[in-house]
Structure 1
Amino acid sequence: MSIDAMTSAAKAAGSQTALAKKLGCTPQNVQWMCSTGSVPAKHVLRIEEVTGVSRHRLRPDLYPEALPTLKEMMPHISPADQSGNASVDPSSTAQASP
């Protein structure tokens, strides 16, 4: 548990009050998390989602490896990738003649 991680999360959210609003808790609760570095498990994934601070930095006891954040795990598909071409070669679906 890291005071630095929670301080970074509050800064990324804009302020402790802004983070509290996003978490649905009181600013005093966020202030306590920032001053102690103790983050309740129920808030870890939401903090990661809204601030980009990894769950590993927030709670290394629960998330021992630095896993990718939720945003990093989501596939990015650009319009160029959506060619409309079939993914299967038509010759592989043709039936062999007897």
Structure 2
Amino acid sequence: MSIQAMKSAVEVLGSQTNLAKKLGCTPQNVQRMCSTGRVPGKHVLRIEAETGISRSLLRPDLYPEVPLTMPATIDLDGSGQKASNCAGDAYSAH
């Protein structure tokens, strides 16, 4: 939960009042979010949609950052044998 993320969200919309209108809450609620960095889960996705501030910056406890890449191999059936995630490997001679 980040005070900086909320500050950025307010800057994008121009004021705490504008953000409050987008969220359907009072400016006092937004001020509290800004001063504490605590964003109620019900507001996270709306803030992200309205401002472009990532949900993982607003509530990393609810929306942890997901790695952009997958591991090179994955144990698909729990057997310990790894299957490659590369499509080209299906055509390799083994």
Q: Same fold (TM over 0.5)?
A: yes
Cα RMSD (Å) = 1.6
Corresponding residue for residue 9 of structure 2: 9
Secondary structure class of the residue paired with 2:62: coil
TM-score normalised to the size of structure 2?
Answer: 0.69
Change (3 A) 1:66 1:34: farther
**Of the two, which has the highest radius of gyration?**
1
Q: Output the amino acid matched with 2:38.
A: S
Output the amino acid matched with 2:39.
Answer: V
Structure 2 portions without partners, runs of 5+: 68-94
Aligned to 1:93: none
Q: Report the equivalent of 1:96.
A: none
The TM-score normalised by the length of structure 1 is 0.66
Gaps of 5+ in 1: 68-98
Aligned length: 68
Matched residues in 2 for 1:15 and 1:41: separation?
21
Structure 1 residue 13 displacement after superposition:
1.1
Question: Residue 48 of structure 1 contacts residue 54 of structure 1 at CA under 8 Å; is this kept in 2?
Answer: yes
Q: Of Structure 1 and Structure 2, which has the larger fraction of its residues in strand?
A: 2
SS of the residue 1:34 aligns to = helix
Instruction: Give the % identical residues.
Output: 75
